[in-house]
Amino acid sequence: MTKADENQTNGKPRGILCECVFGVGGNELIPLTCKECPPPLLPPSSFLSSDPGAPYFPPEFPPLAQHKHSSRDMHMTRCTLSPQLFSEIDKLRVQLLNNVDIIAENQRGVEEISQDGILTQIEGVILGIMTSLSRDEVPILVLPNRSSWANISFDSAVGLQMSSEHSVTSIRSDCPSSVTKFAQILKILSVIYRLVQSNSYATKRDIYYNNIQLFASQRTVDSIIDDISCMLKVPRRSLHVLATSKGFISGDLCYLEEDGTRVDCHPSSAAVSISSNIDIVSSAKFIMIVEKDATFQRLLDDDLCTKLSPCILITGKGVPDVNSRLMVRKLWDTLHIPIFALVDADPHGIEIMCIYKYGSVSMSFEAHSLTVPSVMWLGLLPSDLQRVPEDSLIPLTKTDENKLNSLLKRPYLTSQPNWCKEIELMQQSKVKAELQSLSSIAPDFLTNIYLPNKLRYGGWV
């Protein structure tokens, strides 16, 4: 049995990642050969050489402080990427492909409605108002309630979707508290009607600035457009109203926008703002969703797309907008490759990951085009925090604890027992951490050590 075999448990190398295992040479991390620490505490440096073993983060090993010395006594060797990097990712893709037909059948949504169909639906709403007026009745608009969990059903293959029997909200034209919203809805319906009729497009921002006094804020316009989309049972993109995306994408990807513009997302160019697309070309092995823009930019600066090529990085810059979620879903529908989420080990990061995977209550009516239930949690896992220096950990607040309790009660977590275990571990430890905390181990630890080894050894849940 080789030393690498002795240092492995269940196919994963035994050991921890710490300053006496890896040091910094120039601008990159390089593996160090240690003569003082006992073998079980040190991972073989094979991921960065030719040996089949590699560093990993098993929870059963001692914390960083138990190592005997610093890296100055080590012998340094230059790192080279192993060709085995994608073996576990390829296995995961095979599993996903075996289930893709079943998933596609369950995720089949409502067929696209024609432009004439949209016009007919809007005309129906206006006709209803005119009929009420002719009968001396108060015109009322009825909207599905997009804020109540009671209106939500869960399907593991689709995510959170609006129940067929849902409660509604009545917008009355004679009520002081709702008359303004009634007028706002009618105004935007008239704008949408003209856009669809002329086959032209406008941004949500255009709609707001054309009548600032009526709408008061951009948020009002955004919410009403979603209300109309839900009321008419029409995807927002079919209403001819566009939204400027806040997200970015980079990596092995080219696509065509609806106007025929070719967009190249390869890392040699700057990160590309996410927009609509009709044709995707990519040879990527996986997609990584990055929670924060700061982390996304750091990964680009560290040339991660090249080091782990071919891959695609995408960020919604926090809570994702609809365009970012549409892009992730489009990539999944087109490529059928593994999608990993890289988020902070805190309640907010977990919730953002759940939005990509299972959707949100407010947009549950469009679940079939926005959710990707195949998303895997790559990091930062609460179980990884046992290897992060204590001074980089942040105590949970009362708000954090309440959010964790809320997450555990959500219907989708019943289908993710390993996610529940990670959340429960965070509850027990009462600490959280940002991805930036890994830099306290070494400046390039996230890019050069943590992510490559997570991907190589299937360190996702």
pLDDT band at 131 (very low <50, low <70, confident <90, very high): very high
- The answer on 227 and 148 residing in a single domain is yes
Domain count, the chain: 2
- The answer on 131 and 60 residing in a single domain is no
Residue 65's domain comprises 3-84
- The answer on 238 and 122 residing in a single domain is yes
Strand (E) positions, 26-71?
A: 28-33
Whether 142 is in a domain gets the answer: yes
Nearest residue to 334 via CA among 277, 268, 296, 389:
277
Q: At which of 224, 242, 260 does a domain end?
A: 242
pLDDT band at 233 (very low <50, low <70, confident <90, very high): confident
**Does residue 270 surpass a pLDDT of 80?**
no
- CATH code, domain with 234: 1.10.10.10
- Alpha-carbon Rg for the chain, nearest whole angstrom, is 25
> Which residues make Cβ contacts (< 8 Å) with residue 345, sequence separation at least 6?
379, 380, 381, 382, 384, 385, 426, 432, 433, 434
**Does residue 59 surpass a pLDDT of 50?**
no
pLDDT at position 285, please? Answer: 92
* 224 vs 54 pLDDT, higher one: 224
Q: At which of 201, 223, 242 does a domain end?
A: 242
pLDDT band at 31 (very low <50, low <70, confident <90, very high): very low
- The answer on 143 and 38 residing in a single domain is no
- The answer on 73 and 125 residing in a single domain is no
Whether 190 is in a domain gets the answer: yes
pLDDT at position 5, please? Answer: 42
Give the pLDDT mean for 431-451.
90
> Which residues make Cβ contacts (< 8 Å) with residue 433, sequence separation at least 6?
344, 345, 346, 380, 385, 388, 392, 393, 394
pLDDT band at 261 (very low <50, low <70, confident <90, very high): confident
- The answer on 208 and 122 residing in a single domain is yes
Whether 386 is in a domain gets the answer: no
- The answer on 129 and 60 residing in a single domain is no
pLDDT at position 53, please? Answer: 38
Tokens standing for residue 346: 């805190």
pLDDT at position 389, please? Answer: 87
Q: At which of 30, 61, 84 does a domain end?
A: 84
Whether 176 is in a domain gets the answer: yes
DSSP 3-state of 313: strand
Whether 29 is in a domain gets the answer: yes
> Which residues make Cβ contacts (< 8 Å) with residue 239, sequence separation at least 6?
118, 192, 195, 196, 225, 228, 229, 232
- The answer on 227 and 179 residing in a single domain is yes
Give the tens place of pLDDT for each residue, 364-423: 888 888 999 999 999 899 999 888 888 889 999 999 999 999 999 998 888 889 999 999
**Does residue 215 surpass a pLDDT of 90?**
yes
Q: State the residue for tokens 């009462």.
A: 430
Whether 35 is in a domain gets the answer: yes
pLDDT at position 28, please? Answer: 39
Nearest residue to 226 via CA among 317, 162, 163, 130:
162
pLDDT at position 297, please? Answer: 92
pLDDT at position 388, please? Answer: 86
The CA distance from 375 to 373, in Å, is 6
Instruction: Please check whether residue 250 is in contact with residue 271, taking contact to mean a CB–CB distance below 8 angstroms.
Output: yes
Is the bond preceding residue 85 a cis peptide, omega within 30 degrees? no
* 152 vs 432 pLDDT, higher one: 432
pLDDT at position 361, please? Answer: 85
Question: pTM score > 0.85 for this model?
Answer: no
The catalytic site residues sit at 209
DSSP 3-state of 86: helix
The CA distance from 349 to 84, in Å, is 30
Q: Tell me how crowded residue 118 is: count the other CB atoms within 10 A of its CB.
A: 20
The CA distance from 41 to 60, in Å, is 10
- The answer on 158 and 59 residing in a single domain is no
Whether 366 is in a domain gets the answer: no
pLDDT at position 234, please? Answer: 87
Whether 393 is in a domain gets the answer: no
DSSP 3-state of 338: coil
pLDDT band at 219 (very low <50, low <70, confident <90, very high): very high
pLDDT band at 228 (very low <50, low <70, confident <90, very high): very high
- The answer on 34 and 130 residing in a single domain is no
Give the tens place of pLDDT for each residue, 2-25: 444 434 444 433 333 433 333 333
- The answer on 237 and 135 residing in a single domain is yes
> Which residues make Cβ contacts (< 8 Å) with residue 248, sequence separation at least 6?
271, 272, 273, 274, 293, 296, 314, 315, 317
Give the pLDDT mean for 184-212.
93
- The answer on 201 and 120 residing in a single domain is yes
